[in-house]
Structure 1
Amino acid sequence: MTILIDRDQVISSPALVPAERDLARNHGGELTIGLVNNMPDPALKATERQFLKLLQAAAGPRRIRLHCFSLPSVKRSPEAKWHVESEYSDLSDLKRQKFDGLIVTGAEPVAPELDQEPYWHDLTELIDWAKGNTRSAIWSCLAAHAAVLHLDGIARRRLPAKCHGIFDCDAVTSDALTVAAPAPLKVSHSRLNELAESDLAQAGYQVLTRSAEAGVDVFVRQYASRFVFFQGHPEYDALSLQREYLRDIGRYLARERETYPRLPVSYFDAATEDKLGRFEKKAVHQRHPALTTELPGLNLRADIDAGSAAAVLFRNWVQYLSMEVEAPVLAPQPKVLVPR
């Protein structure tokens, strides 16, 4: 699937993308970006929409040609597999060309160790390819953990409890990626593991943002391509964490997980947290899938500011790609012979 993104068009879903002839105008150079969407089936289409909206808002006067892919070794339901096979481009097509930018999402873990995941080989091949065939690549959540393990042998560490919620992150290094960023940046995190800042620093990575509660947020490493790593999910919309939380409750009630999920940090308002606390007690006592019909109405905190961090990060990232694209190429100057 190739999507042409122009700031003046309305894109509600990838299925409603205008034909290329309707986007013939080009106001400031065209960028080619690849999205390798490996998110779990329930989040597959939502992830497409989130990145589409972010890139369209960040495009400015430019047109972006977005190519969608997914690792073929990520396990899918029949419905999701049909969507990927019919709407996405084949990953082999990606490796036959160069991209200005690449975005690689995480995937749901199914093995105890990253290098035992069924998609490990495909993912590491993609990491190696991106070093020399992109101007910059973004690695999100599990993809970030996999990348640093493959590149430098840095192993992630299991957390005592899931890092899940919206966290205040501070810029700790001056960088073009965080120019004009709000202080603090409110970023969604949803993970069971973390990378230690000391391990990253020792290997030569530069941490750009961190949270006192969630640890490292955004960090970078320069190869021929500039690699940008997100431990969090700045692209998440306001309801992403709610969908994950309700999914985990459903899995607990269906006995697909052993522990009841913790509330996302700084996410629901106080009244909702109180109602969910009462529901948890009932769910633990009466554990049955039918209880999902008794979940209370949910209200988010008014100050979560979803998307503000992503808007800044992606605007600056697209600007970085554009500077590379639009930099003038100087023609060789004729030699001037000076008489001796």
Structure 2
Amino acid sequence: MSVLIDRDQGFASPALVPAEGDFARNHAGAELNIGLINNMPDTALKATERQFMKLLQAAAGPRRIRFHCFSLPSVKRSPEAKWHVESEYSDLSDLKRERFDGLIVTGAEPVAPELDQEPYWRDLTELIDWARTNTRSTIWSCLAAHAAVLHLDRIERQRLPSKCHGIFDCETVSGDALTRDAPAPLKVSHSRLNEVTEGDLAQAGYRVLTRSAQAGVDVFVRQYDSRFVFFQGHPEYDALSLQREYLRDIGRFLAREREAYPALPVSYFDAATEEKLVRFEKRARHQRHPALTNELPALTLRTDIAAGSAAAALFRNWLQYLGADTEVPLLAR
């Protein structure tokens, strides 16, 4: 099952359509074959499909993209999400029977204390090894980036004192065509409890492309037979993604599913909204009950978050690399 992404196509739903036989192989110069390994939590599963489809559509220009959705079978799912994956996604075994120009691999919500204890660890490491030699380039996002560097170079992620959550200004620190024509600064969403440090990455031979003074390393790369691109953040997030996560975490606090009340996302809500949310937090700590979510104030985002502009530039350059003549690499190695 796949989606054919055209420049003027609308996405009323993420439903997939059957592939058109050998069309991609017969039009290799005009069409790219890209797979999304979507391991995001059930609540973000469909939103992630739409976000990446819209992002690739905005970045592709006149080029057509054959977009395939997969998910690691060992990621735990609710019955509804499992049905969606089984009925709408391609089987992961099909990945090795097709030629893919590029892959995008998302993280999953952690359920184990250590990454290599996650139930999907074996499936993920087999995917990492396969992608090294069977794609031109693979993008590893957030937790998937942490898992990849752990498997490849035993780089351990480090727990942060508090969650890195918000929109951060990132600067380009290493010249590379992946960041060509990107806005300065790049405003990128981050949402994570852990990080890999620039010192550990540099020592192992990775090259950092962008970083934030507050959030640390943002984008970094490593060349194998495939060019691996790692995002510690979530450039695909739309304007409301962080809001949904923040409200989810408030709901979990009120339902006593988590002990800590979530901190406000950095540089995300406007000043008036932040004041209202600080007052709501005080109430929530004293009247901790799920019904209190019905009294959350109206939320207004800052006008300068520039959601999607950084991602559009990065993915435009990535697609140009995937479509370039392999003997004249677009991106520095």
Contact 1:167 1:265 in 2 (8 A): yes
- Where does the alignment leave 5 or more consecutive residues of structure 1 unmatched? 329-340
Residue pairs, 1:107-256, within 5 angstroms: 107-256=108-257
Residue pairs, 1:1-340, within 5 angstroms: 1-15=1-15, 20=20, 29-324=30-325
Contact 2:3 2:19 in 1 (8 A): no
> What is the aligned partner in structure 2 of residue 337 from structure 1?
none
Whichever of the two has the greater Rg, that structure is 1
* Alpha-carbon distance in structure 2 between the residues aligned to 1:18 and 1:75: 26
Contact 2:60 2:316 in 1 (8 A): yes
Q: Quick one: which amino acid aligns to residue 305 of structure 1? A: A
**Aligned residues: CA RMSD:** 1.9
Contact 2:16 2:88 in 1 (8 A): no
Structure 1 residues 15 and 152, CA, compared in 2 at 3 Å: closer, same or farther? same
Contact 1:101 1:136 in 2 (8 A): yes
Contact 1:181 1:312 in 2 (8 A): yes
Shift of 1:207: 0.1
Shift of 1:27: 10
Q: Quick one: which amino acid aligns to residue 291 of structure 2? A: A
Post-superposition CA distance 1:106-151 (Å, at most 9, x none): 0000000000000000000000000000000000000000000000
* Alpha-carbon distance in structure 2 between the residues aligned to 1:215 and 1:307: 20
Moved more, 262-271 or 27-36: 27-36
Contact 2:2 2:19 in 1 (8 A): no
Shift of 1:58: 1.4
Structure 1 residues 16 and 143, CA, compared in 2 at 3 Å: closer, same or farther? closer
Q: Secondary structure at the match of 1:149?
A: helix
Number of aligned pairs?
327
Post-superposition CA distance 1:232-268 (Å, at most 9, x none): 0000000000000000000000000000000000000
Contact 2:2 2:16 in 1 (8 A): no
Q: Secondary structure at the match of 2:97?
A: coil
Shift of 1:90: 0.4
* Alpha-carbon distance in structure 2 between the residues aligned to 1:91 and 1:17: 17
* Alpha-carbon distance in structure 2 between the residues aligned to 1:326 and 1:15: 37
Post-superposition CA distance 1:6-55 (Å, at most 9, x none): 1132223222759859x999695111111000000010000000000011
> What is the aligned partner in structure 2 of residue 334 from structure 1?
none
- Where does the alignment leave 5 or more consecutive residues of structure 2 unmatched? none
Structure 1 residues 171 and 263, CA, compared in 2 at 3 Å: closer, same or farther? same
**TM-score normalised by structure 2 residue count:** 0.95
Q: Secondary structure at the match of 1:219?
A: strand
Structure 1 residues 133 and 27, CA, compared in 2 at 3 Å: closer, same or farther? closer
Structure 1 residues 16 and 126, CA, compared in 2 at 3 Å: closer, same or farther? closer
Contact 1:29 1:326 in 2 (8 A): no
Regions of 4+ moved over 4 Å? 16-21, 23-28, 325-328
Q: Secondary structure at the match of 2:136?
A: strand
Q: Quick one: which amino acid aligns to residue 298 of structure 1? A: L
* Alpha-carbon distance in structure 1 between the residues aligned to 2:227 and 2:293: 45
Q: Percent identity, aligned pairs only? A: 83
* Alpha-carbon distance in structure 1 between the residues aligned to 2:298 and 2:204: 46
**TM-score normalised by structure 1 residue count:** 0.93
Q: Quick one: which amino acid aligns to residue 156 of structure 1? A: R
